[in-house]
């Protein structure tokens, strides 16, 4: 049984192969007012070209077909063979297409007009025309090849070009769709990122040169510690530190400090320390002047003095046996931190996305 099925499949495949071959068979018929030798050479060269063209072949009984066409032409009083009769003869000789070629002389050149008739549909599949002086065999061969190529492969190239254009159009549409989708995703992610940064940003905070700054000052809070030393606190938000001198210089250049109160702005988180001059400071009782190193002095709205190394900020004195702060200057700190890391931003983006 299996062997029988295999044989049946082989016969079917063979039949399909023969059918496909028959559909590509082309018969060539040349007419016109030129001498028979030119028409014969032109037709022969076209047959050769078609035979060497992938997917096409000339009918085996070419001579018989030409004789039948000639006999039909001789029979017609007009000297021309109708498309109906051409289709009939093409079917009779097993051709799928008939190339009807007319050659004439015009202005000293051979003018060739050809049309390819589909025998099955009785319609003209394609047409092509060309001219040449054809003063030699090679010139006549080139003319025949050009006509055969335009007639047989022209529609194929046109169909391939159309198919290529359609593929390119679809590819362009797909790429446009992908780009639109990508842009929408980038916009969505950009909006989500902006929302995440906005959520992470503390109150009264601004982004200055890639640093997060609290847009207000933190006054120094001086106190006396258990060791009778002056301590200072600024109560900065968690994760924030005192702005350094470079950042304060940038603020001054951008006129951001003009809104800040006048006074001293520390640039390092140092504790006050007493002067080392024993004549001016009582180390036994810890009374005297206390200093803070490295600060800016904001004097006017647009004038920030250069970085100072040391200045007296606090004066202590004992009263009632207890060390107290007698005098203190206005000392401020500006709180900054590095901008949010990508992991911080991504974590907030994930948190926002999880709510939807």
pLDDT tens-digit readout, 226-283:
889 999 999 999 999 999 888 888 887 777 877 788 888 888 877 888 877 767 788 8
- Structure token pair of residue 108: 């000293």
pLDDT of amino acid 197: 94
Alpha carbon 139 to its chain centroid, in Å, reads 50
pLDDT of amino acid 67: 66
Q: Rounded CA gap, 58 and 22, in Å? A: 10
Q: Rounded CA gap, 303 and 262, in Å? A: 10
pLDDT of 17 over the 60 cut? no
Q: Rounded CA gap, 108 and 134, in Å? A: 10
3-state SS assignment for residue 242: strand
Average pLDDT, rounded, for the chain = 82
Tell me the average pLDDT across 328-335.
91
Q: 153-157, 330-334, 342-346: lowest mean pLDDT where?
A: 153-157
Q: Residues 332-345: pLDDT tens digits? A: 999 999 999 999 99
pLDDT of 140 over the 70 cut? yes
What percent of the chain stands above pLDDT 70? 83
Q: 11-15, 134-138, 249-253: lowest mean pLDDT where?
A: 11-15
Instruction: State the pLDDT confidence band at 25, using cuts at 50, 70 and 90.
Output: confident
Instruction: State the pLDDT confidence band at 324, using cuts at 50, 70 and 90.
Output: very high
Q: Residues 30-56: pLDDT tens digits? A: 888 888 888 888 888 888 888 888 778
CA atoms within 13 A on the CB side of 178: 6
- Structure token pair of residue 335: 């709180």
pLDDT of 19 over the 60 cut? no
pLDDT of 178 over the 90 cut? yes
Q: Residues 70-124: pLDDT tens digits? A: 666 555 444 566 667 777 776 777 788 888 888 988 888 889 999 888 888 888 8
3-state SS assignment for residue 24: coil
């Amino acid at each position: 049984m299996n062997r029988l099925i295999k044989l049946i499949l082989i016969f079917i495949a063979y039949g399909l192969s023969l059918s496909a071959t028959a559909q590509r068979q082309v018969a060539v018929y040349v007419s016109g007012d030129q001498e028979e030798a030119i028409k014969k050479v032109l037709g022969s060269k076209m047959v050769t070209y078609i035979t060497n063209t992938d997917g096409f072949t000339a009918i085996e009984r070419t001579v018989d077909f030409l004789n039948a066409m000639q006999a039909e032409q001789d029979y017609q009083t007009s000297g021309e063979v109708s498309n109906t009769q051409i289709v009939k003869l093409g079917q009779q000789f097993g051709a799928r297409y008939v190339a009807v070629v007319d050659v004439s002389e015009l202005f000293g050149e051979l003018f060739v007009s050809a049309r390819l008739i589909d025998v099955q549909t009785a319609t003209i599949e394609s047409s092509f025309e060309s001219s040449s002086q054809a003063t030699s065999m090679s010139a006549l061969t080139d003319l025949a090849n050009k006509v055969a190529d335009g007639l047989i492969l022209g529609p194929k190239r046109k169909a391939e070009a159309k198919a290529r254009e359609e593929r390119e159009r679809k590819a362009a549409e797909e790429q446009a769709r992908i780009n639109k989708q990508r842009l929408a995703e980038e916009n969505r992610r950009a909006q989500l990122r902006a929302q995440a940064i906005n959520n992470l940003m503390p109150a009264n905070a601004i982004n200055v040169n890639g640093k997060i700054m609290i847009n207000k000052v933190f006054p120094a809070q001086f106190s006396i510690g258990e060791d009778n030393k002056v301590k200072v606190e600024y109560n900065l938000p968690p994760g924030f530190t005192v702005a350094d001198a470079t950042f304060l210089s940038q603020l001054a250049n951008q006129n951001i400090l003009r809104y800040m109160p006048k006074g001293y702005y520390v640039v390092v988180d140092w504790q006050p320390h007493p002067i080392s001059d024993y004549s001016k400071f009582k180390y036994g009782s810890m009374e005297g002047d206390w200093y803070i190193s490295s600060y800016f002095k904001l004097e006017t709205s647009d004038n920030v003095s250069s970085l100072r190394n040391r200045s007296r900020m606090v004066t202590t004195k004992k009263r009632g046996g207890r060390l107290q702060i007698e005098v203190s200057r206005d000392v401020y700190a500006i709180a900054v931190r590095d901008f949010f890391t990508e992991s911080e931003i991504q974590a907030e983006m994930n948190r926002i996305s999880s709510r939807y």
